[in-house]
Structure 1
């Protein structure tokens, strides 16, 4: 079973996508594809780093690829690492993707399932009504499959602004996972994720090898303000 506890002040949250040896990812999705034979040694290294630094490792996976249930979840369970799987519900049951029964199996392993909308839309580029529908319908579908509340969310493409943050927290989400790098503060609701993909491996390892300090606490505390400033500047 995966663990989802611990008293560490900091978390090292690592994000992945398709890990199949022959990719199920297509088109732009291939930019985030890392075969498991490459990813697994990196995850082992990051786990060892987290044990040295004291930052609890959590691994997330986006977009409901079959590798979540076939490769990643068994590794997480064997190693006692907490996992979160962010699912755009429109892909469920498609070739190369998870089915509803797989989500229940993941939950049975102690993994968490998170909202990623229905259609993997850029929430900063659609109307508020479309945004609310995409989040609400995706959440309702996951809750119907799992038979339990779902209160973790990751904006598709990692794109969000202060208005989206406020809406998500008003909807009762307790964690919002971004795609911005850094160590996460365990007590903070906005969670940076270090995305493991080609061209970004050294940056992820650099974060993984760092011990959290006051600068990391300050970054975490100031994230709502920095998000507000980015929104005012028109940067999602």
Structure 2
């Protein structure tokens, strides 16, 4: 019996009224993982194997925008959301070719206030280059979804009103000017989210928000994601896929407000 099947057989069955959860994978940098104390870097070799693992099981990696649209249409079976936080420049040369080889898409959350800069917020980690405007446009033209990770990578619950508006509304405006296409997705820096931050994201015009483990805040504006790292072999990926439904509820079960961006001036 395959390990994943054996593990699933030992777990309690979820109630019939609980919908299958969205499975959204969270990546960051695709390059040499040495000297990364935060464990957010995956080597190109490991990443290639992880994509093969998905493809071999009939799963297809897609952007969060596509995943949510398919879910609303009732045809999301076999789809896995792929996201990349922080807007690292290595996405262009290391991740994009592998994604295109499989016919996969992904959502890349970038920082328009740090174009061509470095990940200065990771004090203990290696310095890594961030995407430039030209690189972001090239990624969008390759069929990837571009989303906002804020303007400069600050925790939104700790931001004052003016900074919160810049990190949400202004970052979206800049990215839409840059790409010439709507920017629907927002990703909370550090995964930190609270009702005030969620309201700001919705009021800024985004259609959804990605978090990490938002707990009681789980909704379309705080979607949970599964961290994927260098140590995630086939066995670990199978286990994460099995265990994920037991820790999350489907966003549609938790959202009480209408989906879509809030109207300007709405409470």
Shorter-chain TM range is: 0.7 to 0.9
Any conservation in 1 of the 2:33–2:41 contact (CA below 8 Å)? no
Match in the other structure for 1:172: 205
Any conservation in 2 of the 1:151–1:172 contact (CA below 8 Å)? yes
Match in the other structure for 1:41: 49
Please say if 1:195 is aligned against 2:227. Answer: yes
Gaps (5+ residues) in structure 2? 1-19, 61-75, 119-128, 257-267
Cα distance change, pair 198–37 in 1 and its aligned pair in 2 (3 A): closer
Question: Structure 1 stretch 97-106 or stretch 113-122: which is displaced more?
Answer: 97-106
Larger Rg: 2
Match in the other structure for 2:66: none
TM-score norm. by structure 2 comes to 0.66
Any conservation in 1 of the 2:157–2:196 contact (CA below 8 Å)? no
Residue by residue over 1:192-219, the C-alpha shift from the partner in whole angstroms, topping out at 9 and shown as x without a partner, is 211112567776542325796xx78844
Structure 2 counterpart of 1:145, from 169, 175, 178? 178
Q: 2 CA distance for matches of 1:200 and 1:157?
A: 21
Deviation at 1:188, TM superposition (A): 4.7
Q: Which has the higher helix share?
A: 1
Deviation at 1:126, TM superposition (A): 1.6
CA RMSD, Structure 1 to Structure 2 (Å):
3.5
**Equivalent residue of 2:196, what SS?**
helix
Deviation at 1:137, TM superposition (A): 2.2
Match in the other structure for 1:84: 107
Cα distance change, pair 22–221 in 1 and its aligned pair in 2 (3 A): closer
Gaps (5+ residues) in structure 1? 1-8, 226-236
Residue by residue over 1:6-47, the C-alpha shift from the partner in whole angstroms, topping out at 9 and shown as x without a partner, is xxx754211111111267xx876x431222222221232134
Structure 2 counterpart of 1:32, from 32, 40, 62? 40
